[in-house]
Amino acid sequence: MTREITLSKAVNEAIAEEMRRDETIFLIGEDVAEAGTPFKVLSGLVEEFGTDRVIDTPIAEPGFMGIAVGAAMTGSRPIVDLMFGDFIFLVMDQLCNQAAKTHYMSGGKLSVPLVLRTNLGATRRSAAQHSQSLHALVAHIPGLKVALPSSAYEAKGLMKTAIRDDNPVVIFEDKLMYNDKAPVPEEEYLIPFGEANVMRQGRDVTLIGTSSMVQVCQKAAEILEKEGISAEVIDPRTIVPLDEETILNSVRKTSRAIVVDEGHQNFGITGEIASRISEKAFYHLDAPVQRMGAMDVPVPFSPALEDITVPTPEGVADRARLICRGELVHAA
Amino acid sequence: MTREITLSKAVNEAIAEEMRRDETIFLIGEDVAEAGTPFKVLSGLVEEFGTDRVIDTPIAEPGFMGIAVGAAMTGSRPIVDLMFGDFIFLVMDQLCNQAAKTHYMSGGKLSVPLVLRTNLGATRRSAAQHSQSLHALVAHIPGLKVALPSSAYEAKGLMKTAIRDDNPVVIFEDKLMYNDKAPVPEEEYLIPFGEANVMRQGRDVTLIGTSSMVQVCQKAAEILEKEGISAEVIDPRTIVPLDEETILNSVRKTSRAIVVDEGHQNFGITGEIASRISEKAFYHLDAPVQRMGAMDVPVPFSPALEDITVPTPEGVADRARLICRGELVHAA
Amino acid sequence: MAPKKKTNTEDYLRMYRQMVRIRAFEDNANQLYLSAKMPGLTHMYSGQEAVAVGICEALEDSDKITSTHRGHGHCVAKGAEFKQMFCELLGKEEGYCRGKGGSMHIADQSHGNLGANAIVGGSMGIATGAALSARRLGKKDVTVCFFGDGATAQGLWYEVMNMAALWKLPVIYACENNGYSEYTKTDEIAAGSITARAEAFGIEAHMVDGQDVLAVNDLAQKLVARARKGEGPFFIELKTYRYHGHHVGDINRDYYRSKDEESEWKKVRDPIANFGKWLESEGVVTADELVAINDEIRADAEAAVQYALDAGYPPANEVDMHVFAGVDHALAYV
Amino acid sequence: MAPKKKTNTEDYLRMYRQMVRIRAFEDNANQLYLSAKMPGLTHMYSGQEAVAVGICEALEDSDKITSTHRGHGHCVAKGAEFKQMFCELLGKEEGYCRGKGGSMHIADQSHGNLGANAIVGGSMGIATGAALSARRLGKKDVTVCFFGDGATAQGLWYEVMNMAALWKLPVIYACENNGYSEYTKTDEIAAGSITARAEAFGIEAHMVDGQDVLAVNDLAQKLVARARKGEGPFFIELKTYRYHGHHVGDINRDYYRSKDEESEWKKVRDPIANFGKWLESEGVVTADELVAINDEIRADAEAAVQYALDAGYPPANEVDMHVFAGVDHALAYV
Ligand SMILES: Cc1ncc(C[n+]2csc(CCOP(=O)(O)OP(=O)(O)O)c2C)c(N)n1
Ligand SMILES: Cc1ncc(C[n+]2csc(CCOP(=O)(O)OP(=O)(O)O)c2C)c(N)n1
Ligand SMILES: [Mg+2]
Ligand SMILES: [Mg+2]
């Protein structure tokens, strides 16, 4: 049976189900227990699992990240709650020098099964240090898997897969989507990593959107449909591993692609995906692959400025129109 | 007059000259004073400038990075020495949440004129935590400039420009190149940011190499020349800002490009540059743009493994041959 | 409150006014939030006024402070104006940061406020660096680093205390211990003793009642003078209380602290009411004069709010300005 | 050295042997470097043997340790074999980490060594987490976190001490104070008192002579037993000395420490020589027996070196194995 639940509830359910299944799982982070996080995503868990498994920490991100790494190396499966994605800068050493490399450096003898759950997304008027989408940084580091759920359904299925994975997995939730509802089955399900979701079939252009940008691409596709442009929409769901085949097959069919992501455009996700398409579907392209990331500026506080830093459905539709009509091609 | 000096000496000279010119500059980091850093790059500076301007710190990277940010905001121009590029994970918060954003967040009222000098490069048998090339992470963050000197000449000119820049600049030196000599003028010179260097003219393929990979591209070009393939070699010198025009003009001429960088390939430098070329020189390309980054694995210690993780002249030449002969095109 | 000599009438009145200004600013900011006129959310300083004012009144204009997510109080106390502050809170072009920073990044370099910070503990290095810079450049400036009790958990503090102590920097670490880290009593997440942590680095540590503006100011004056002479660094733990929730949206807070506790602090230990009473009892002002001060400041604040509501947003082309100093528009540059 | 009862002959001899094994390992490693047979460089533990041995002899096999860049001593002391260690140092497939880790990442999970670490202080969280994990999973394991005096500057330590103290974790922080952080006397870069820093978090702190294996072992036994009962965490500062340079290539070190100082420590305070003398004087062994032990271990070490020199490198296709658990080859996966 499928009911509609919020993304927040989906994450909560995924964690609760897995914690019931496996005693070695515990949650650790700031205000995760009674407060259930500022976004209330974890509400109720401490009541069920106790403070031994839902652990409030001091405001010491590097510290509790390191603690999670050590716990993961010794039989536990910690889920680390990092309140804002922007704080990932604080845990980079423990995440990237320790967690990501331990399995390799030990020749496969030690492993670090942990989940780091955090968030991304701007336009919440939270300014430059609480609005970043920093998944590209993590995706660059070998040894880390990176999941980007785009709805409650994905949030639950990817979280459960992440918890069962024997590697460090970083999940970025879109903080503006916590209250968005989507159909989620009552029955247990997992979403395998590395399997993109073709959300919508189309002929003329492939829109590849991650996380918050999946909805943007869907809405752009609706706009375009009215104009007779048929857009295929793909959600990679995980960027490490990346389901290149599904993306390439789509672009080989549509001959055009736009990659849309809420991280900064430069040196980010869009360049990676666009360059793989440009290389591996070279002969199939009728137009240059388009990249639409967040503007390369720190996220401004002022609503008048913040809103223009992030791709919108209209913006994506505009770009699609241009490449479908060949207008951007001849400039290149 | 031009003499040959090592990259190490070039950095040392640049810093010494600037420190003589401007009293507000100081150096801060671990073992920078008497020891002159483990690589001996800063030898002699404490003797000239004293411990008030060449400051040995405890082993506290986040701490002295933060101190540098505050000093830069208040009239000083600190040069931070970070012993290994791998430690950048430890300073990410102070670098990316503070230094990079302060000018913007303050609406232009505060600025952070600091230089973070560190290094990159593998094949030194230093294993996974002392061998990374992490410049892509920094390049992704708006507000930071990123310089990648490829010889003693660039090291001096870019360092002097960095020190005079009113923004946070991160310079990654190639640690294997410290003892490599190159001609460096006695007279003062600066190398402006955002001006790529066309090291070698060619007709058939453009090799874009950064830092340590510039030499690799040069050697590949020599190999190719013997076989009648004429390669143009471009060193961007800074990746933020990136001299897109010089790269695009070259590719529009040669119709083929390979981007070579020592950072991990996935979600790194090569994707950014390749996707810009693919987009903006779309009609000029006779073959898919090739990317050659470091292998997407933690850097292994064993020499038997480490050497195969980094692009080599032969590897680059092989790839160039394939695209010049059209072999990779038809697969795509 | 210990009896004081009346020699300092002017100073006393300025401290009183500054505390009232902070309270008035916060009440208006809260109202802007509740009436959905403010973008995002914000953290109220109400209740902690004696800390910011007691310390900042001991500073010169050129002395520096670093501030926190709960930073309006520090900003006002260090000399900022209502108009530019409200403009900033509303994301308007005339704000201190042209609307780009907002509440959590408000900075006012003209009076030495190096900025609020949305990273807990994030400014501890900055403050220490400002002190190093002042010393190196031969300035006499002292820097005060404000942070909360929760921030003492951040490793950065220990790193910079070590360096500040080694190098005898003119920095004062001022921990506003309001008892809470967000929705958790800090006692539950802090082991041992906070003053002992500073002392372990050889830093002289003090505790003071953060609701008593004169006690705070006395101590601050002494330590600032000593820091200026090179006897720093120092640490002060100031016991205080925040009246509102962690942020303006934190309304239902029974699960982490009781209404009784809140009203006890407000009734018995309010820094403004108590100081007002003392000023009266010492004959420095009359009750009527206090009311007049309050009214005048409230009217000021409301006028500034209206000004800010009417003010313009930055134009769209500002969005890529100020990414880099010396670069007009970053998007044309990178 | 305080006189001891002779009841523990076996323990004494094992401690002596383990110290000699570390010294022999390091002498050979140094030789491999000097003869250009070792890739990269490495940090010698010689001089500090009594620390690793005194502590690890107080641990069970299932107890955990975390180690440092100067980690060979901890690895040997926690039960590792010469062959796999030398293979690791030479990047050979039979190494503990299949040659992928090398000297700075040597780990030996079979005996609870969670690994050396090339990030100074990088394992402080890991050790604390291992202790939390043991407690949560109902195991009785204690974790010892080894680190140097220089590492006490890292903020991470203060963050995890806070949590370890709050949660009473079975972790012992063991600071090997050899006086130097690379090429700098740690006194010049450490303010205040190191034990006071731990005590400020409510952690019981001890100081012990790190050259006296029995003193170290006595203290370690007591603290390990107490930590196992839930009375932890603890901190120990062990005063010791490294005989070689910071790393094998650090030959000219007059500028930061004197030859006199070095030879003083070697002559007067060598942990092996002194313990050997004591064993003789107590009648536990004869001088000849000690020589025999030494010879046997030296021969073992040399054989292991030869074995490792002859051993094979990992095949090229290993390069993208073990990036992810459960993924054969990462390049086919990402
Ligand atoms: C590095 C970091 N971690 C967590 C947060 C979220 N956060 C904001 S304020 C706060 C509590 C801070 O407590 P304290 O330092 O006592 O200041 P107070 O709010 O009491 O003034 C937390 C956890 C943050 N902004 N930055
Ligand atoms: C985070 C980090 N900073 C700096 C270094 C470089 N480094 C390696 S060992 C060392 C000195 C460590 O001193 P200490 O902790 O006393 O250990 P010892 O070498 O004396 O055993 C330094 C600075 C590093 N490896 N990691
Ligand atoms: Mg607080
Ligand atoms: Mg040491």
Task: Indicate if ipTM > 0.90.
Answer: yes
Q: Would you call C129 and B242 a contact, using CB atoms and an 8 Å cutoff? A: no
- Planar angle of CA A190, A191, A192, nearest 5 degrees: 110
Q: Would you call D163 and A60 a contact, using CB atoms and an 8 Å cutoff? A: yes
**A192 in any annotated domain:** no
Residues 126-165 of D with CB under 8 A from A: 126-134, 136-137, 139, 141, 143, 155-156, 159-160, 162-163
Q: Is residue C178 a contact partner of residue C208, using CB atoms and an 8 Å limit? A: no
Last residue of a domain, one of B161, B185, B209: B185
- Say whether both B181 and B202 belong to one domain: no
Residues of A acting as catalytic residues: 61, 130
**Distance in Å, CA B38 to ligand 2 centroid:** 11
Query: CATH number, domain at A167?
Result: 3.40.50.970
- Say whether both A281 and A175 belong to one domain: no
**Distance in Å, CA C183 to ligand 3 centroid:** 9
Q: Would you call D313 and B90 a contact, using CB atoms and an 8 Å cutoff? A: no
The answer to whether the CB of D197 is under 6 A from ligand 2 is no
**C319 in any annotated domain:** no
pLDDT tens across B252-294, in order? 999 999 999 999 999 999 999 999 999 999 999 999 999 999 9
**D4 in any annotated domain:** no
- Say whether both A307 and A243 belong to one domain: yes
Selection from B303, B299, B271, B302 nearest residue B121 by Cα: B299
**A191 in any annotated domain:** no
Query: CATH number, domain at B265?
Result: 3.40.50.920
d(CA C227, CA C217): 15
d(CA C251, CA A53): 27
Q: Identify all chain B residues contacting D91, using CB atoms and an 8 Å cutoff.
A: 125, 301-305
The answer to whether the CB of C119 is under 6 A from ligand 1 is yes
At residue A251 the predicted structure's pLDDT band, cuts being 50, 70 and 90, is very high
At residue A328 the predicted structure's pLDDT band, cuts being 50, 70 and 90, is low
Q: Identify all chain C residues contacting B108, using CB atoms and an 8 Å cutoff.
A: 98, 321-322, 325
**D2 in any annotated domain:** no
At residue D49 the predicted structure's pLDDT band, cuts being 50, 70 and 90, is very high
Type of residue numbered D73: G
SS3 state of residue A25: strand
Tokens of A266: 């430069």
- Say whether both B24 and B149 belong to one domain: yes
- Say whether both B16 and B43 belong to one domain: yes
Residue A145 CB-half CA count within 13 A: 32
- Planar angle of CA C122, C124, C125, nearest 5 degrees: 95
Structural domain count of chain C: 1
pLDDT tens across C185-208, in order? 999 999 999 999 999 999 999 999
Q: Provide the residue-wise pLDDT of chain B in tens; the chain has 332 residues.
A: 789 999 999 999 999 999 999 999 999 999 999 999 999 999 999 999 999 999 999 999 999 999 999 999 999 999 999 999 999 999 999 999 999 999 999 999 999 999 999 999 999 999 999 999 999 999 999 999 999 999 999 999 999 999 999 999 999 999 999 999 999 999 999 999 999 999 999 999 999 999 999 999 999 999 999 999 999 999 999 999 999 999 999 999 999 999 999 999 999 999 999 999 999 999 999 999 999 999 999 999 999 999 999 999 999 999 999 999 987 665 55
- Say whether both B231 and B87 belong to one domain: no
**D160 in any annotated domain:** yes
| Among the partner residues B104, B129, B269, nearest to A297 by beta-carbon distance | B104
**C2 in any annotated domain:** no
- Say whether both B284 and B245 belong to one domain: yes
Distant-in-sequence, close-in-space partners of C32: CB < 8 Å, separation ≥ 6: C38, C86, C89, C90, C305
Q: Identify all chain B residues contacting D153, using CB atoms and an 8 Å cutoff.
A: 58-60, 63
- Say whether both A179 and A62 belong to one domain: yes
- Say whether both B42 and B133 belong to one domain: yes
Distances (CA, A) of A199 to A194, A215, A219, A233, B167: 15, 10, 12, 5, 43
pLDDT at D203 exceeding the cut of 90: yes
Answer whether D32 touches A (CB < 8 Å): no
pLDDT tens across C220-249, in order? 999 999 999 999 999 999 999 999 999 999
| Among the partner residues C141, C322, C324, nearest to B107 by beta-carbon distance | C322
Q: Which residue has the tokens 């292994």?
A: B300
Instruction: Give me the pLDDT at residue B332, please.
Output: 59
Chains that touch A (3 or more CB pairs under 8 A): B, C, D
**D177 in any annotated domain:** yes
Dihedral, CA atoms, B111, B114, B120, B125, nearest 10 degrees? -130
- Say whether both A213 and A153 belong to one domain: no
Q: Would you call D98 and A63 a contact, using CB atoms and an 8 Å cutoff? A: no
Last residue of a domain, one of A127, A157, A185: A185
DSSP bridge pairs for A117: A81, A171
pLDDT tens across D139-197, in order? 999 999 999 999 999 999 999 999 999 999 999 999 999 999 999 999 999 999 999 99
- Say whether both B107 and B180 belong to one domain: yes
| Among the partner residues C100, C117, C120, nearest to A302 by beta-carbon distance | C100
Q: Identify all chain A residues contacting D100, using CB atoms and an 8 Å cutoff.
A: 104-107
Answer whether B187 touches A (CB < 8 Å): no
Q: Would you call D160 and A143 a contact, using CB atoms and an 8 Å cutoff? A: no
* Numbered residues of chain B with Cβ closer than 8 Å to any chain D Cβ: 30-31, 34-35, 38, 56-60, 62-63, 86-87, 90, 124-130, 266, 295-298, 300-305, 308-309
* Parent domain of B154: 2-185
* Mutant choice from B61, B278, B309, B330 vs A, greatest count of A C-beta within 10 A: B278
The residue ranges of DSSP E strands in B135-286, in sequence order, are 145-147, 169-174, 181-185, 197-200, 205-209, 231-235, 238-240, 257-264
Selection from A118, A37, A26, D161 nearest residue C182 by Cα: A37
Q: Would you call C153 and A129 a contact, using CB atoms and an 8 Å cutoff? A: no
Please measure the distance between the N-terminal and C-terminal CA atoms of chain B and give it in whole angstroms. Answer: 51
**B329 in any annotated domain:** no
**B331 in any annotated domain:** no
* Parent domain of D195: 9-310
Instruction: Give me the pLDDT at residue C3, please.
Output: 46
Catalytic pick from B13, B18, B30, B61?
A: B61
Query: CATH number, domain at D30?
Result: 3.40.50.970
- Say whether both B137 and B50 belong to one domain: yes
**D1 in any annotated domain:** no
Distances (CA, A) of C246 to C99, C182, C242, D196: 23, 5, 8, 33
Last residue of a domain, one of A150, A165, A185: A185
Structural domain count of chain B: 2
pTM for the model? 0.98
The answer to whether the CB of B87 is under 6 A from ligand 2 is yes
In degrees and rounded to multiples of 5, residue A288 shows phi and psi of: -60, 140
Residue B330 is a catalytic residue: no
